A and B are shown apart, each in its own frame.
Chain A
Amino acid sequence: MTEEARRAIGKLRSPYCPGLMLEVCPSEPAVILRDSIRQMALDGHESDEIVEWMLANHGEEWRALPRWAGWGMWAWILPPAVLIIGAGVLIGVLRSLRGRRDPDEVDDDGTDVSDDENERLTAALAAWDAEERER
């Protein structure tokens, strides 16, 4: 099969199998339609021409890919738009989460820990370090 025929068939749904692409529809009329498309491609028609010929004969509803125009455009626009908006919201949420304090977080200036406690903590950590080294 030529590349043009393959491309054209890949853009069409089958009028003979509900929900299936023309390329996989096993019914006899679909086989005949595929043969006609192959022949048109061999005669030098481009894939877009073949698609338009098929849609003119069978109806617009057999187009597998919505057009990038009119209402069909919404099919293409909305999924990436939702992802982009979602990413925006996500970044916003993450920023707000970054700004929020942990409830168990101590102040950076260390006012929650007295000098005496700080000394005891340092000594305990040093002793623990020494113990670890000995092991």
Chain B
Amino acid sequence: MTALGEVALWIALLLTIWGVGTAFIGARRGRGDLVLSSERSLHAIFLLVVLSAVMVVVAFLRNEFHYRYVAGYSNIELATHYKITALWAGHAGSLVFWVALLAFFASLVVRANRWKNRDLMPYVSATLHSVILFFLVVIIFTSNPFETLSFTPADGRGMNPQLQNFWMTAHPPTLYLGFTAFTIPFAFAIAALLSGRLDTRWITETRRWTLLAWFFLTIGIIMGMIWAYETLGWGGYWFWDPVENASVLPWLFGTAFLHSVMIQEKRGMLKSWNLFLVLGTFLLTIFATFLTRSGLIDSVHTFAQNLTISYVFLAYLTVLTIICTGLVWWRRDRLKSEHRLESFLSREAAFLLNNLLFVGAMFAIMWGTMFPLLTEGLLGQTIAVGPPFFDRVTIPIGLVLLALMGIGPVIAWRKASKRNLRRNFTLPTVMGLSVGLILWAAGVRHPYALLTFILGVFTLTTMGVEFWKGTRARARIEGEGAGPAFLHMMSRNRRRYGGYIVHIGLVIMFMGFAGSAYDVEEQAALEPGETMSVTSAWGHTFDLTYQATSAYPATNMTKLVASVRVQRNGRDVGILTAEQRAYRQRDETISVVGIRRAWNEDLYMIMAGIEDPNGVIQGTNPRPLVTFRVLVNPLVPWIWIGGILMAVGTLIAMWPRRGVPERPAPPRTVPVGKVPRRDERELAEIG
């Protein structure tokens, strides 16, 4: 039965070829029936790819180890929910999952636009088909999850233990949702270029899609950080690993686009720049996929792959870049600005500076990530670039962006007067500097941390004042109380105030990052009854007394759990446990950290080593010596709070308004269920 999955992939492949052809021919010859056929093929492709993905999952659930993919990523003892998530545990299955998500979005966008944007849709459909076609070719010819072994093993190798974690269940799908959703704005941009309809309509139509993609990518990245923090046992959440970097590259470009697009909407400027950003964002998602799946760069995240995949993705990336550049060049005459810039002291200029910094940060991270590979290829000698490089290069850029987050939303469009600047920025500047002075007096000397707090408070104040002014004005005009006025103001200006909440979330996140300047770490080997102490940056001391280590057999693994009594300034605050899990099938051991969370810091404990683990398991050594690595990480909880605020703000910004019709009524000339004739469709377009 599971072989149906491969058949479905082949049929989907044939349909994509049909879909690309019919969409293009339909567009060029004005054949509405062909365009409609192409759009319907996207629905069929979605169902076929979902069928294929379901068949991969069924193969996992039925332990069909004759499939290489199932044997490589599962075993009989693996928990059922991990057998489902095993779909994206390896390269081949995750590509099927990727295409299923892409086809879902493609099907959705076709349905949402069945009565509008008819001039763009043939090209949108053709572009979406062509992207799906590429991935299906890669899956079928290089990474087929239905590839069989010449024999059927009794059991599989099992899943990588580090993937057997809640956050790893949620992180890849969310990230993939972000990556694949960016294909929709890309398809509209290509459609706008091909059709020559380069006004702001394609941008308006894709704004919500861009926000959706950005939303998923943001929470996907944050979930990855939580996973790294809680599972990898390094004590941190971001290590500038090449694969982490790869996910942040399209995020940076996408963020630049979300800002820059406002200038085109408001002022009709930067048309070619916006195209560059939206096309670049999609290209960077392909680049990220190439980096993750090529296996060219050392990373804990990469899928082990051969070079064939790298060449295929590199070739696709090159072809796409040439096509995109060619199209923009072809349409350059229609991409001129409609308005002029009146002043360097304006919101347009602030947004442009913001764009420059986002693109600069993207380049710096990409350069640092690729530098070892480039030097190895050019010089035959690897020059490594580690996390300190990325910190040094990106922190100054991040700080300027932090300031711009406060300046951009309140500085006037066109030209800011001195009065505008004084009125908007006096209080935030005073607040920021005051907090800086207080922190300095309290002993905060780390320059970046201090600057982060000064600029963060500056930005938070500008945002706070904006909320206050808006609420007060509405309360006065409408005669409402502060609460209803605030809610009505938010609901009537969701994009604006949702954006402000995203900014607030990001500021809080930045402050959380700044806390890492004051991380404290101690390591000690203890026998039961012995105590180690660690003093937090806030001044209090944690005493950790090692109690005992116990062994627990569990499905698929054996757990060694060390328990530690924690006292804060001599007062008992509870027991903290850290684990080592030995996975039988893969013969691998991982650490599970113990975290005691407070609003302002995490007490983070890793069981770094244990003497005679076999003795503990067999019960012959009840008092093993355990090495504990203990960290006190200030403000880490703020990072997750900031992330939640960013997600909430994005949801508010993209939430559709009630009472605004999402689609016009279907034209009466097109009966339901009938394929409209070409003249009927043209009539529908004209309205």
- Chain B 377-415 interface residues, beta-carbon cutoff 8 Å to A: 379, 381-389, 393, 397
Contacts of B635 in A (CB 8 A): none
- Contact for B239 among A21, A28, A75, A94, CB less than 8 A: A21
A1–B387 Cα distance when bound, in Å, is 21
Q: Which residues of A contact B342 (CB under 8 A)?
A: 98
Q: Is A78 an interface residue (CB 8 A)?
A: yes
Residues 551-567 of chain B, each 1 if its beta carbon lies under 8 Å from chain A, else 0: 00000000000000000
Q: Residue A99 at the B interface, CB < 8 A? A: yes
Quick check: is B340 within 8 A (CB to CB) of the other chain?
yes
| B 338-363 to A, binary, CB cutoff 8 A, 1 in contact else 0 | 11111010000100110011011001
> What CA separation (Å) do A66 and B608 show in the bound complex?
30
- Interface 1/0 per residue, A72-99 and B, CB below 8 Å: 1011001110110011001000100111
CB distance from A50 to the nearest CB of B (A): 15
Please give me the residue from chain B that is nearest to A64 by CB atom. B386
User: Per-residue 0/1 for B313-338: is the Cβ within 8 Å of any A Cβ (1 yes, 0 no)?
Assistant: 00000000000000000000000011
**Cβ–Cβ < 8 Å partners of A10 in chain B:** 388
A26-B234, A97-B340 known; A64+B388 contact, CB < 8 A: yes
Determine whether A102 belongs to the interface, using a CB cutoff of 8 Å to chain B: yes
B364 CB within 8 Å of chain A? yes
Contact string against B for A residues 4-30, beta-carbon threshold 8 Å, 1 for contact and 0 otherwise: 000000110100011111001010100
Interface residue count for B (Cβ, 8 Å)? 50
B93 within 8 Å of A (CB atoms): no
CB <8 Å contact, B340 and A99: yes
- Contact, CB under 8 Å: A82 / B384: no
Q: Evaluate contact between B609 and A75: CB separation under 8 angstroms.
A: no
Contact at B349–A94, with CB atoms within 8 Å?
yes
Minimum CB–CB distance for B503 against chain A, Å: 22
Q: What chain B residues lie within 8 Å of A98 (beta carbons)?
A: 340-342
CB distance from A127 to the nearest CB of B (A): 24
Whether the pair A26, B383 counts as a contact (CB closer than 8 A) is no
Query: Once the chains bind, are B360 and A19 in contact (CB under 8 Å)?
Result: no
Across-interface contacts of A1 in B (CB, < 8 A): 521
List B contacts of A79 (CB < 8 A): 360, 363-364, 367-368, 393
Q: Is the CB of A19 within 8 A of B591?
A: no
A64 touching B367, Cβ below 8 Å: no
Contact yes or no, B368 A75, CB < 8 A: yes
- The contact of B269 among A65, A72, A97, by CB within 8 Å, is A97
A110 on the B face (CB < 8 A): no
Complex-state Cα separation, A93 to B443, whole angstroms: 44
Instruction: With A87-B356, A94-B344 as known contacts, state yes or no: A71 contacts B379, CB within 8 Å.
Output: yes
Q: Are A20 and B300 in contact (CB under 8 A)?
A: yes
Judge whether B30 is part of the interface by a CB distance below 8 angstroms.
Answer: no
Asked if B37 is at the interface (CB within 8 A of a chain A CB), the reply is no
Cβ B356 vs Cβ A24 within 8 A: no
Contact of B360 among A20, A60, A83, A100 (CB under 8 A): A83
A22–chain B nearest beta-carbon distance, Å: 9
Chain A residue nearest to B368 in the complex (CB): A75
> How far does the Cβ of A32 sit from chain B's closest Cβ, in whole Å?
10
> B243's closest neighbor in chain A, by CB?
A19
- Distance in angstroms between the alpha carbons of A51 and B364 in the assembled complex: 25
Say whether B242 contacts A19, CB under 8 Å: yes
Flag if A75 contacts B371 (CB, 8 Å).
yes
CA A66 to CA B521, docked complex, whole Å: 26
Chain B residues contacting A17 (CB-CB under 8 Å) are 300
Tell me, yes or no, whether A44 is within 8 Å of chain B by CB.
no
Q: Are B384 and A62 in contact (CB under 8 A)?
A: yes
A66–B338 CB distance below 8 A = no
Closest to B591 in A: A26
- Give chain B residues whose Cβ lies under 8 Å from the Cβ of A64: 384-389
Residues of A within 8 A of B339 (CB): 102
Contact B379 A86 (CB under 8 A): no
Inter-chain contacts of B521 with A (CB < 8 A): 1
Report the separation of the CA atoms of residues A80 and B389 in the bound assembly, to the nearest whole angstrom.
13
Q: Is the CB of A65 within 8 A of B388?
A: yes
Are B242 and A66 in contact (CB-based, < 8 A)?
A: no
Chain B residues at the A interface, C-beta cutoff of 8 Å: 233-236, 239, 241-242, 269, 297-300, 337-342, 344, 349, 352-353, 356-357, 359-360, 363-364, 367-368, 371, 375, 379, 381-389, 393, 397, 521, 591, 606, 608-609, 627
Q: What are 16 inter-chain pairs, A to B, with CB distance below 8 A?
A: A1-B521, A10-B388, A18-B299, A20-B241, A24-B239, A26-B608, A31-B608, A31-B627, A63-B384, A66-B385, A72-B383, A79-B367, A79-B393, A82-B364, A86-B359, A100-B340
Nearest 6 pairs between A and B by C-beta? A64-B386, A24-B234, A79-B364, A18-B298, A97-B341, A83-B360
Known A20-B234, A64-B385, A64-B387; 20 more pairs at CB < 8 Å: A1-B521, A10-B388, A11-B388, A24-B236, A24-B239, A61-B381, A62-B384, A65-B386, A66-B371, A66-B384, A66-B385, A71-B383, A75-B385, A78-B367, A79-B368, A80-B393, A82-B363, A97-B269, A97-B340, A103-B338
